[in-house]
Amino acid sequence: MLDVKALRHAMLDADCTVKALASACQICPSALYKRLNGKVSFTLGEINRAVDHLHLTTEQRNQIFFAEKVS
């Protein structure tokens, strides 16, 4: 389950906008908003591109994209 709060925090830490992350994930901003709102899931490729763009550690990746419980 996606931890949107943690993802947005990581975006702030990386000074990354929705538009920039969408571009890095090779999707349009509206598609990223659908993922942030839980209407569509991230693909593995999108996750990998987001992790690379945001310079996330394995622990951060797991917390954000594979969280069992979301705060």
Q: Are 25 and 16 in contact (CB under 8 A)?
A: no
The confidence band for 67, taking pLDDT boundaries of 50, 70 and 90, is confident
Instruction: For 47, list phi and psi in degrees, rounded to 5.
Output: -60, -45
The confidence band for 65, taking pLDDT boundaries of 50, 70 and 90, is very high
| Mean pLDDT of the chain, nearest integer | 94
Geometric angle at alpha carbon 64, from 50 and 7, rounded to 5°: 65
What is this structure's pTM?
A: 0.90
Token pair in block for residue 23: 């571009």
Domains and CATH numbers, the chain: 4-65 (1.10.260.40)
User: How far apart (Å, rounded) are the C-alpha atoms in residues 11 and 22?
Assistant: 11
User: How far apart (Å, rounded) are the C-alpha atoms in residues 4 and 22?
Assistant: 15
